[in-house]
Structure 1
Amino acid sequence: MANVTKSPASPLTTAEIAALALSLAHLGSGPQATAARLGLRHAFEQLHLDDEVVATTLATLTEPMPDAVADRARTIAAAITSRMVVRLHYRDVSGRITVREVDPVTCMVHRDHWYLVGMCRLRRGIRAFRFDRIIATEPTFVPARPHLATDFLPFQGKRAA
């Protein structure tokens, strides 16, 4: 198989990396998923980022999610792609469980955790929901209001350094 290289003049954006990582995260641990995660790891290495936070984030991006979390991630990814509201059963840091309808915008990883970022209709504001605190997800047939990731996460519109 031939090696293909991408011009260094057009590195992946953080939004592109997040989309690739989310797609890979819920693939499981089959041979193609393993090879794809290795490719993502190589893409990060080309960025020459040497930082403990980045290393931890990279590990989170390139490790398979537990099966139950991966199932919920697939529902979230489908909601983002189809631009539909997703219903979350969410346990907050205090242990309280709420049901939230969210206009999903993007997913991100920070250190050890995946997050869904979106407009929470219950709280009427931008929220980040940790994947491991999402108990259940339900697709809806309600169209999500359009929101740009750049409006939620200023760094999403910038190219990786």
Structure 2
Amino acid sequence: MNRTARLYGLVEELRAAAPRPVTVAALAARFEVSARTVQRDLQALMETGVPVRTTPGRGGGWSIDPQMTLPPIHFTADEASALAAALAAADTSTPYAGAARTAAQKIAASMTGPASAAAQKLAARIVALPSPTDSTVRAAVEQALTANTVLRLSYIDAAGRQSDRAVEPAGLLTADGRWYLIAWCRMRQAGRGFRLDRITAAAPTTEQAQPHDLTDLLRGSAAARAVQPTTLASL
């Protein structure tokens, strides 16, 4: 068994036993490798963000939080290649670009043989040019969306006017090569679309935002002609 297959096997062994911990000795016996190899593999999983943890002492061992991981998903070679290529196209200014890159690495690691080589060749033929979105702005938008908190931002509109606003994020829209934050603007008391590359500064707060329906806000927004559609499909 190669290391990639063993890493996935370790995750599934821990998932099957959860929430009970499993000792390194038991895992070593299961995969017919040394305890040192298992320890190194588990440390590698932890460093890549897999929610494994160790509990010291008698009755302790390694365990995983099953609610924080997905069960195995069996992609076809074409599906895996398409995902790897799409994730590779996410440039550094794309929202959640960091997570996209690590997801692409995990997909590539899960593939073997001709399928893996085909996906890597396809991804290498895709080039994404970064847009001028500030990384701190992108990170603040991501945090506010994930935590559903109010976002304070400075924005320059199409006429060059700058304003400071508090907004309640509802989602993201991509159109014509641009990314927009769709949010309820407290200053305008209406839904608005904010082009990410026109946000000059942004800072999330700890204040919880009110829930807003993304489709309703899109229909009330001028972002990327979103006022017109009668039906809207999410990505």
The 3 A distance-change label for structure 1 pair 5 and 75 is same
Secondary structure of 2:96's partner?
Answer: helix
Q: CA deviation at 1:141?
A: 1.9
Higher relative contact order (CA 8 A, sep 6+): 1
Can you list the C-alpha shifts for 1:1-60, whole angstroms capped at 9, x where unaligned? 689427x9xxxxxxxxxxxx6312xx29xxx728739x8xxxxxxxxxxxxxxxxxxx9x
Q: Which structure's CA Rg is the greater one?
A: 2
Q: TM-score, normalised by structure 1?
A: 0.60
Instruction: Return the match for 2:168 from 103, 109, 114.
Output: 103
Secondary structure of 2:158's partner?
Answer: coil
Structure 2 unpaired stretches of 5+: 6-72, 80-93, 108-125, 219-230
Q: Which runs of 4+ in 1 moved over 6 A?
A: none
The 3 A distance-change label for structure 1 pair 65 and 155 is same
Task: Report the counterpart of residue 122 of structure 1 in structure 2.
Answer: 187
Matched, 1:155 2:223: no
The question of whether the paired residues in 2 share the 8 Å contact of 1:90 and 1:134 is answered with yes
Secondary structure of 1:155's partner?
Answer: coil
Task: Report the counterpart of residue 151 of structure 2 in structure 1.
Answer: 86
Task: Report the counterpart of residue 22 of structure 1 in structure 2.
Answer: 95
Provide the rounded CA distance (Å) in 1 between the counterparts of 2:214 and 2:95.
Answer: 15
Q: What letter matches 2:96 in structure 1?
A: S
Q: How does 1:7-46 map to 2 (within 5 A)?
A: 22-24=95-97, 27=98, 33=101, 36=104
Identity among equivalent pairs (%): 33
Task: Report the counterpart of residue 5 of structure 1 in structure 2.
Answer: 75
Q: TM-score, normalised by structure 2?
A: 0.43
> Which has the larger strand fraction?
1
Q: CA RMSD in A?
A: 3.7
Aligned residues: 121
